[in-house]
Amino acid sequence: MAEENVKFATRPTGVGEMFQLLRDGQPRTRADLAATTGQARSTIAARVDLLLAAGLVTPTGEAVSTGGRPPATFAFNPGARVVLAVDLGATHVRLAVTDLAGTVLSEHHEPLAIADGPDVVLDRVATIGLTLISDAGRRLADLAGVGVGLPGPVEHSSGRPINPPIMPGWDDADVPGHLGQLLGVPVLVDNDVNIMALGEHATEYPQVDHLLFVKVATGIGAGIISDGQILRGAQGAAGDLGHIAAPGGSDVPCRCGNTGCLEAVASGQAVATRLRAQGFDVATSVDVVALVRGGNLVASQAVREAGREIGGVLAACVSMLNPSMIVIGGVLAEAGEHLLAGIREVVYRRSLPLATQHLRIVASQTKGRAGVLGASAMAADHFLSSEAIDNLIA
Amino acid sequence: MAEENVKFATRPTGVGEMFQLLRDGQPRTRADLAATTGQARSTIAARVDLLLAAGLVTPTGEAVSTGGRPPATFAFNPGARVVLAVDLGATHVRLAVTDLAGTVLSEHHEPLAIADGPDVVLDRVATIGLTLISDAGRRLADLAGVGVGLPGPVEHSSGRPINPPIMPGWDDADVPGHLGQLLGVPVLVDNDVNIMALGEHATEYPQVDHLLFVKVATGIGAGIISDGQILRGAQGAAGDLGHIAAPGGSDVPCRCGNTGCLEAVASGQAVATRLRAQGFDVATSVDVVALVRGGNLVASQAVREAGREIGGVLAACVSMLNPSMIVIGGVLAEAGEHLLAGIREVVYRRSLPLATQHLRIVASQTKGRAGVLGASAMAADHFLSSEAIDNLIA
């Protein structure tokens, strides 16, 4: 729109907004930005100077000249700051320090019982975090934020767990307050499946706007990306796939108190229980995967049957949400094609052509790292938002 | 943020953005707006003058003075323009001319077969539209836009139907082009259930961010409001509740080619078929409703049983989407509490407490008008968006 309207403008900076154009990492000249935004060269130049001074943008060389002195190019500098990404499970934790583009600089994985409670667990997280920052050759002053995934429902706005079933002592715990106090930066918290969806989306499929990430492990849950954003619902409980009734109408009791829940018939735990009843020596999802990988036919069939049950519930999700991609992750997805084959079989049979003609159902590409990559993306996105950049520069 | 940063601002106007604050209809002074936005009084005054000149805002009197001349108040003027709202069904059409706040100024309802094809139907819509504008005492020049609901899948970005099963001749029809040519204004198109969700949301529950609207009539479908916006999915097919497998595992054939779809076991048509087999003289959903209202116990039980089947699928939706409100509309909802009782029974039994503790399941309050109210809201929202206002003023 026309420059003569500038008299009505009072938006304070617009630096953060312009910065969003640079987040793809492509080198650009001031003239490129002026052409893209339609804004005055002088305005663009002033904004770029602020971003260069803050280190968020670095010179990247010179563009091809069209005559005269070649114009300087510059690009987003993802190494300007680092974030700490934390993926807490029931019995272990995975942490990484990444740059602002999600490149892992240092990482660590260790057993840690969530049942030890928030004080013990979060203190340990902060201690490991400090070590990882140092391992990455950076200082605490470089830390821009912390992203945390928790194995239970979280009120995203406050970062507090809400009645988490497998996290004794954590109900309403002030996770952002505790870690923020120790590390001095903003702390973003979400449930583990949401951050896995975010990690897979940010790393592998940033161009896919409607994606469903399904974790099949001891339990079953889903993270929903809708219009490029995590869909949380009214209480942050959206994506709770595990307690939808499996189509088979089974009466297997579920830990939630109901019967026939998908989790009770098709989780890694459910498959292990079924195989144990058939005389196999399996305790966990990991044991099931080992059996399948060893070529055991009964185990492969049990996993494929679990896939069919999951497919029945996912067919309903496809009709409701119309995603263009379903990513299957979690330990049981590591059993190879058997789980996916069962899922695909039922989803393609039970959904309408309009919803499945462009639908892809794939295995997770980030493997065990989806959680930390998502926690990193969540913290980096917060730090690099237009508003945050405007505040940082102001 | 500070005024000294104004030098970096080049956002052309900001009139549209400020106007959004006024859309609630509350009278405000220039000082109120300056206080809310943190912007200079001179900037606010210039913007208000532009909105007054465009008629979008009108003087509403004087505020209570704190000494000296009392400051003038002004408010959004919903009568500045009108919109034409069109709700096309399989066999009839409902139209209304409303102001920009959805108040109906004139309306009309008549039989119209969608199977007559887009040329016949859309010409007729335009003709009735012109009459309704005149009935409302307005001129075509006052028309700000048209909103249309169609009984089939629509690609929202283009406004074209995609393989609509009950709309012969409409596949890929340029609905916005046809009506836009005749009436000279922007035309927004969506499927009927999405606009019903929008209408119920805008009129009755504007403060509810996560709402599911379920239409139970000849077919079954849902419109999903998530974070205050219609959730459409990758191909605009989201909310297709009718072809999810009903939990009972029935083998009743469905018109989609599958068996046991919710629509095949619990729609108005399905209930009518079942009652006919029991010797009742019923052909349509309307006949079923009449029978229930007449106190027939068998019909009431059949409707309640349909409610249970619908409840089974809605329980899955509650787990996936975590809405805080489910609104049940469509003809069969007019059978009183029987349908809702069946739905509530199963949803509350089959969903986790976290998802249902604040969930309300209610009957539609807008009755047959949800569609036109939603079409009106869709067209008015488009006309009153920040960008549209900026363009209008520029």
Q: Quote the pTM value.
A: 0.88
Instruction: Return all residues near A247 (Cβ < 8 A) that are at least 6 apart.
Output: A309, A312, A313, B245, B247, B249
pLDDT-derived band at A9 (thresholds 50, 70, 90) equals very low
Question: What single string gives the DSSP state of each residue in B300-348?
Answer: HHHHHHHHHHHHHHHHHHHHHH--SEEEEESGGGGGTHHHHHHHHHHHH
Residue-wise pLDDT for B112-158, tens only, equals 999 999 999 999 999 999 999 999 999 999 999 999 999 988 988 89
How many C-beta neighbours within 10 Å does residue B66 have?
A: 8
B87 forms beta bridges with B94, B149
Assess B311–A contact: CB distance below 8 Å, yes or no: no
Least Cα distance to A247 among B48, B362, B262, B7 occurs for: B262
Per DSSP, B7 falls in state: G
Residue-wise pLDDT for B294-351, tens only, equals 999 999 999 999 999 999 999 999 999 999 999 999 999 998 899 999 999 999 998 8
Determine the pLDDT at residue A7.
37
Determine the pLDDT at residue B13.
54
Question: What single string gives the DSSP state of each residue in A277-313?
Answer: HTT----SHHHHHHHHHTT-HHHHHHHHHHHHHHHHH
The pLDDT of residue A384 is above 90: yes
Give the B window 335-354 contacts with A, CB below 8 Å.
349-352, 354
Q: Please list every residue in chain B whose beta carbon sits closer than 8 Å to the beta carbon of residue A355.
A: 233, 235, 237, 240
Per DSSP, B228 falls in state: T
- Asked whether the beta carbons of residue B235 and residue A354 sit closer than 8 angstroms, the reply is yes
- Asked whether the beta carbons of residue B244 and residue A315 sit closer than 8 angstroms, the reply is yes
Residue-wise pLDDT for A104-130, tens only, equals 999 999 999 999 999 999 999 999 999
The minimum CA-CA distance between B172 and chain A, rounded to whole Å, is: 14
Q: Please list every residue in chain B whose beta carbon sits closer than 8 Å to the beta carbon of residue A316.
A: 244-245, 313, 316-317, 320
Q: Rounded to 10 degrees, what is the CA torsion of B202, B358, B326, B109?
A: -40
- Asked whether the beta carbons of residue B7 and residue A237 sit closer than 8 angstroms, the reply is no
The pLDDT of residue A179 is above 60: yes
Assess A222–B contact: CB distance below 8 Å, yes or no: yes
pLDDT-derived band at A12 (thresholds 50, 70, 90) equals very low
Determine the pLDDT at residue A308.
96
**Cβ distance A285 to A332 under 8 Å?**
yes
pLDDT-derived band at B214 (thresholds 50, 70, 90) equals very high
The minimum CA-CA distance between B181 and chain A, rounded to whole Å, is: 27
Whose tokens are 């108005």? That residue is B268
Assess B13–A contact: CB distance below 8 Å, yes or no: yes
The minimum CA-CA distance between B256 and chain A, rounded to whole Å, is: 8
Residue-wise pLDDT for A30-78, tens only, equals 888 888 887 788 888 888 889 998 899 999 887 776 777 777 899 999 9
Residue-wise pLDDT for B264-308, tens only, equals 999 999 999 999 999 999 999 999 999 999 999 999 999 999 999
Q: Please list every residue in chain A whose beta carbon sits closer than 8 Å to the beta carbon of residue B229.
A: 227
- State in Å, rounded, how far the first CA of chain B is from the last one: 26
- Asked whether the beta carbons of residue B3 and residue A10 sit closer than 8 angstroms, the reply is yes
- Asked whether the beta carbons of residue A237 and residue B355 sit closer than 8 angstroms, the reply is yes
- Asked whether the beta carbons of residue B358 and residue A315 sit closer than 8 angstroms, the reply is no
Q: How high is the ipTM of this complex? A: 0.86
**Which residue among B6, B248, B322 places its CB closest to the CB of A235?**
B322
Average pLDDT, stretch A335-354?
91
- State in Å, rounded, how far the first CA of chain A is from the last one: 26
Question: In angstroms, rounded to a whole number, what is the distance separating the alpha carbons of residues B375 and A198?
Answer: 34
Question: What single string gives the DSSP state of each residue in B239-285?
Answer: T-GGGSBPTT----B-TTS-BSBHHHHHSHHHHHHHHHHTT----SH
Q: Which residue of A has its CA nearest to B262?
A: A316
**Which residue among A5, A350, A357 places its CB closest to the CB of B13?**
A5
**Which residue among A153, A249, A323 places its CB closest to the CB of B233?**
A323
Question: In angstroms, rounded to a whole number, what is the distance separating the alpha carbons of residues B217 and B332?
Answer: 6
Q: Which residue of A has its CA nearest to B153?
A: A354
Q: What one-letter code names the amino acid at A332?
A: L
- Asked whether the beta carbons of residue A238 and residue B320 sit closer than 8 angstroms, the reply is yes
The minimum CA-CA distance between A10 and chain B, rounded to whole Å, is: 6
Say whether B236 sits in a helix, a strand or coil: coil
Least Cα distance to B256 among A349, A236, A308 occurs for: A349
The structure tokens listed for B257 are: 């080619």
Q: What are residue B282's phi and psi, to 5 degrees?
A: -130, 140
Residue-wise pLDDT for B200-212, tens only, equals 999 999 999 999 9
**What is the crossing angle of helices B41-53 and B30-37, to 10°?**
120
A189 forms beta bridges with A148
The pLDDT of residue B18 is above 90: no
The minimum CA-CA distance between A312 and chain B, rounded to whole Å, is: 8
Assess B52–A contact: CB distance below 8 Å, yes or no: no
Question: In angstroms, rounded to a whole number, what is the distance separating the alpha carbons of residues A106 and B248?
Answer: 51
**What is the crossing angle of helices B41-53 and B15-22, to 10°?**
80
Handedness of CA A315, A318, A323, A324 (dihedral sign): positive
Question: In angstroms, rounded to a whole number, what is the distance separating the alpha carbons of residues A89 and A114?
Answer: 7
Question: In angstroms, rounded to a whole number, what is the distance separating the alpha carbons of residues A382 and A375?
Answer: 11
- Asked whether the beta carbons of residue A2 and residue B394 sit closer than 8 angstroms, the reply is yes
Element (H, E) at B391: helix B386-393
Question: In angstroms, rounded to a whole number, what is the distance separating the alpha carbons of residues B331 and B292?
Answer: 12
pLDDT-derived band at B12 (thresholds 50, 70, 90) equals very low
Q: Which of left, alpha, beta for A167 (phi over 0: left; psi -120 to 50: alpha)? A: beta
Q: Please list every residue in chain A whose beta carbon sits closer than 8 Å to the beta carbon of residue B226.
A: 226, 231, 233
Assess B201–A contact: CB distance below 8 Å, yes or no: no
Determine the pLDDT at residue A65.
66
Q: What are residue B229's phi and psi, to 5 degrees?
A: -120, 150
Q: Best mutation site among A3, A11, A211, A213 for testing chain B: the one with the most B CBs within 10 Å? A: A11
Question: What single string gives the DSSP state of each residue in A105-158?
Answer: EEEEEEE--GGG-HHHHHHHHHHHHHHHHHHTT--GGGEEEEEEEESS-EETTT
**Cβ distance B324 to B306 under 8 Å?**
no
Residue-wise pLDDT for B358-385, tens only, equals 899 999 998 789 999 999 999 999 999 9
Query: For A81-85, A320-324, B52-56, B109-113, which range has the lowest pLDDT when averaged over its residues?
Result: B52-56
Assess A239–B contact: CB distance below 8 Å, yes or no: yes
Q: Please list every residue in chain B whose beta carbon sits closer than 8 Å to the beta carbon of residue A349.
A: 258
**Cβ distance A328 to B209 under 8 Å?**
no
The minimum CA-CA distance between B121 and chain A, rounded to whole Å, is: 25
Say whether A56 sits in a helix, a strand or coil: coil
The minimum CA-CA distance between B40 and chain A, rounded to whole Å, is: 8
The more confidently predicted of residues B326 and B41 is B326
**Which residue among A9, A320, A354 places its CB closest to the CB of B12?**
A9
The pLDDT of residue B40 is above 90: no
Determine the pLDDT at residue B188.
97
Residue-wise pLDDT for B218-260, tens only, equals 889 999 999 999 999 998 889 999 999 998 778 899 988 889 9
**Which residue among A40, A47, A319 places its CB closest to the CB of B244?**
A319
Assess A149–B contact: CB distance below 8 Å, yes or no: no
The minimum CA-CA distance between B134 and chain A, rounded to whole Å, is: 36
Whose tokens are 């309802």? That residue is B109
Assess B394–A contact: CB distance below 8 Å, yes or no: yes
Question: In angstroms, rounded to a whole number, what is the distance separating the alpha carbons of residues A325 and A341?
Answer: 15
Maximum CA extent, chain B: 81
Q: Which long-range contacts (CB under 8 A, 24 or more apart) does A204-207 make?
A: A204/A327, A204/A365, A204/A366, A205/A325, A205/A327
Give the A window 254-273 contacts with B, CB below 8 Å.
256, 258
Please state, rounded to an integer, the average pLDDT across all residues of chain A: 90
Q: Please list every residue in chain A whose beta carbon sits closer than 8 Å to the beta carbon of residue B346.
A: none
Element (H, E) at A216: strand A211-216
